[in-house]
Structure 1
Amino acid sequence: MTTAAVPARLRGGGWPAFAARRLTRFAVSLWALVTAAFLMIHLVPGDPVRAALGMTAPADLVRAKRLELGLDDPLWVQYGHYLRGLVTGEFGTSMASGQPVAQVIGDRLPSTLQLAVLAFAVVVAVAIPLGVTFAVLTRGGRRRGSELAFTSVSAFLAAVPEFLIAVTLVALLAVGLGWFPVAGSDDASAYVLPVAALATGPSAVLARIVRVELLSVLGADFVRTARAKRLPARLVYVRHALPNALTATLTLGGLMLTGMVAGTVLVENVFAWPGLGSTIVQSILQKDYPLVQGIVLVYGVGVLLVNLLVDVVLGLLDPRSAIREA
């Protein structure tokens, strides 16, 4: 199959089938997520309203709160109300603060997104050049010492949990040396330690993947052909080798982004970051089930959207994969 023939086949039916398959998978996953979030409050042992308000709460208050939440209606009626609320952007009311859940999420979501996006940008900016550098330095079995040092350090950093990195950074750089704030998000310097805690492990993992993929590509026939044409080394690496090595890297990068969004839960609590991660822990402790429902749904939809975006981008970069799956 020639390169020119691939887009033509996609336009002829491969790409629409690929897109339809991905959108169907997204829709089914979204429905399962919404249903699981709805059932969450009904799977709590005992009366969730009594658990949230406390055992000493007056019976009239508990009854009024149950009526407000619609928990005395049949389950299918509650499910219908829940779906209509999601369509209109109504996630319910927080039991702890009395604020609309959508308002609480809207206030806290930007802080979490800023943290995750900055950390992902750092991962890409550090991991890809680092992986390429060590692939070039160690190709063909050269510089065994550099290879051993790179693989050992990156494996260690990849294995350390984010919260442990966060605690270490706080102890050394915030409390010990006083270079950065211990908590909060008042100025730009407050972003440094949380972003470093989130980005360290994924950077190590992605750098290893980039190195392995690039070493594999450098041994391919088309790279040897490019070298035989005496093309400049920079052109061989940037135009021929690197784009072919980034397909697997992009897949892993998308998965890392979803993992980093989830990792903000622990990191935000270490740094008292005013985002969804610290909010969901607080709402769990307060048994604020409507708020927990809403935040879980936001995290889940974020993961599904990132996975869908990665699939679409991979289909555009490697159209043959779309044809094979169509």
Structure 2
Amino acid sequence: MTTVSARLGALTRRHPWGVFCCRRAVRLTLSLLVVVTASFAMIRLVPGDPVRAALGVDAPPDLVAAKRHQLGLDTGLSAQYWRYLRDLAHGDLGVSLVTGEPVADLVGARLPTTLLLAVLAFACVLVVALPGGLLAAVWTRGGRRPRAELAFTATTSALAGVPDFVLAAGLTAGLAVGLRLFPAAGDLGPQSYVLPVLALALAPAAVLLRIVRVETLKVLAADHVRAARAKRLPAAPLWLRHVAPNALTASLTLAGNLLPGLIAGTVLVEKVFAWPGIGSAMAQSVAAQDYAVVEATVLVMGSAVLVVNFLVDFALALLDPRSVIRET
């Protein structure tokens, strides 16, 4: 036992990045299995008969029974679960109960619009919050400009506390219906992205702005930054080498934690703006108890969150390689 532990310790010291990658890969695989199980179980907790809902209340009992047998819904949950795993392993997402369309085609048609919406929103969050938080910290450090600090805190607190669908409705009423600057619904071109992206990005950007400001203030008060200031280090090296990397490492960790909420918010935002994406498909399929579509949309959105968090872990490790050594 001691020999095995010693060998593992030597391997860890020799190949810290390999151990880091293996651990992250195992964690990602287990998390994906949890998402797959959750996508299977979630819709089955909703009361009602999906086959009867799809065929109508007046459908003959023999037709309902035949459809249930065709879909394998007349077997036990364990048999349905193993069939679901087997079909996933073969890339088969099933067929929609409502439309009869292969779910893979539906996901392939709707996924790009949702991905683009989420990527644009997350990019806006980072572009606004990272430099904005750094500037806010410099502007208000040491108790300077208390009115500006109060305005910053009040504005970011208000935006962070407003739900996505309320922001979406307010933006629609003000900028689409009132001023007629942007389309109110649908994907009608580049202008159609403005309101959904704002509805998704405003609250996370407000949260991250406050986090970046607080982290930057901590770094500015650190001993090594004070020492660099005492040595009259020029502003560019001071910020690029000492302040920004330390402040942004912690901030990016928390930004990765905001992403699941942002992706989940696409469901309501897409519903408000009649956006032809995965979120609106999920909302419609839950109401119709369309098992295959719900399972596929939950699986896709959950997997997207896990993969992005996986990439964020690597980005943070690249920013601070010492964390890899400490972990292993």
TM-score, structure 1 as length reference: 0.92
For 1:261 and 1:87, how far apart are their aligned partners in 2? 25
Report how far residue 128 of structure 1 moved.
1.3
For 1:239 and 1:33, how far apart are their aligned partners in 2? 39
Q: Match of 2:26?
A: 24
For 1:75 and 1:139, how far apart are their aligned partners in 2? 59
Q: Match of 1:203?
A: 205
Q: Match of 1:87?
A: 89
Q: Which amino acid aligns with 2:189?
A: D
Structure 1's unaligned 5+ residue stretches are 1-7
Give 2:68's match in structure 1, choosing from 66, 69, 86: 66
Give 2:307's match in structure 1, choosing from 292, 299, 305: 305
For 1:207 and 1:42, how far apart are their aligned partners in 2? 40
Query: Is the Cα contact below 8 Å between 1:210 and 1:249 reproduced in 2?
Result: yes
Paired positions, count: 319
Q: Over aligned residue pairs, what C-alpha RMSD do you find?
A: 2.0
Q: Match of 1:214?
A: 216
For 2:265 and 2:186, how far apart are their aligned partners in 1? 17
For 2:46 and 2:162, how far apart are their aligned partners in 1? 33
Report how far residue 10 of structure 1 moved.
7.0
Structure 2's unaligned 5+ residue stretches are 1-9
Q: Match of 1:286?
A: 288
For 1:274 and 1:151, how far apart are their aligned partners in 2? 36
Q: Match of 2:3?
A: none
Q: Match of 2:4?
A: none
For 2:273 and 2:303, how far apart are their aligned partners in 1? 25
The 3 A distance-change label for structure 1 pair 267 and 41 is closer
For 2:323 and 2:247, how far apart are their aligned partners in 1? 15
Report how far residue 271 of structure 1 moved.
0.8
- Give % identity: 59
Query: Is the Cα contact below 8 Å between 2:43 and 2:289 reproduced in 1?
Result: no
Query: Is the Cα contact below 8 Å between 1:258 and 1:306 reproduced in 2?
Result: no
Q: Match of 1:240?
A: 242
Q: Which amino acid aligns with 2:221?
A: G
Q: Match of 1:163?
A: 165
Q: Which amino acid aligns with 1:229?
A: K
Give 2:325's match in structure 1, choosing from 315, 323, 326: 323
Q: Deviations over 1:274-324 (max 9, x none)?
A: 101111111112221211111111111111112222222222322332333
Report how far residue 91 of structure 1 moved.
0.7
Q: Which amino acid aligns with 2:232?
A: R
Give 2:134's match in structure 1, choosing from 113, 129, 132: 132
Q: Match of 1:265?
A: 267
For 1:98 and 1:145, how far apart are their aligned partners in 2? 60
For 2:226 and 2:257, how far apart are their aligned partners in 1? 32
Q: Which amino acid aligns with 2:31?
A: S
The 3 A distance-change label for structure 1 pair 197 and 43 is closer
Runs of 4 or more above 4 Å deviation: 8-11
Q: Match of 2:255?
A: 253
For 2:12 and 2:311, how far apart are their aligned partners in 1? 18
Q: Match of 1:149?
A: 151
For 1:9 and 1:200, how far apart are their aligned partners in 2? 46
When structure 1 is superposed on structure 2, of 81-90 and 15-24 the one drifting more is 15-24
Q: Deviations over 1:166-215 (max 9, x none)?
A: 11111111111111111111111111111111111111111111111111
Give 1:97's match in structure 2, choosing from 96, 99, 110: 99
Query: Is the Cα contact below 8 Å between 2:43 and 2:286 reproduced in 1?
Result: no
Query: Is the Cα contact below 8 Å between 2:120 and 2:197 reproduced in 1?
Result: yes
For 1:97 and 1:46, how far apart are their aligned partners in 2? 19
SS at match of 2:214: helix
Alignment of 1:24-43 (within 5 A): 24-43=26-45
Q: Match of 1:3?
A: none
For 1:9 and 1:78, how far apart are their aligned partners in 2? 42
For 2:236 and 2:157, how far apart are their aligned partners in 1? 28
Q: Match of 1:192?
A: 194
When structure 1 is superposed on structure 2, of 301-310 and 92-101 the one drifting more is 301-310
When structure 1 is superposed on structure 2, of 274-283 and 68-77 the one drifting more is 68-77
Report how far residue 229 of structure 1 moved.
2.6
When structure 1 is superposed on structure 2, of 209-218 and 316-325 the one drifting more is 316-325
Give 1:179's match in structure 2, choosing from 178, 181, 185: 181
For 1:148 and 1:40, how far apart are their aligned partners in 2? 44
TM-score, structure 2 as length reference: 0.91
Report how far residue 78 of structure 1 moved.
2.8
Query: Is the Cα contact below 8 Å between 1:105 and 1:295 reproduced in 2?
Result: yes
Query: Is the Cα contact below 8 Å between 1:101 and 1:294 reproduced in 2?
Result: yes
Query: Is the Cα contact below 8 Å between 2:53 and 2:288 reproduced in 1?
Result: no
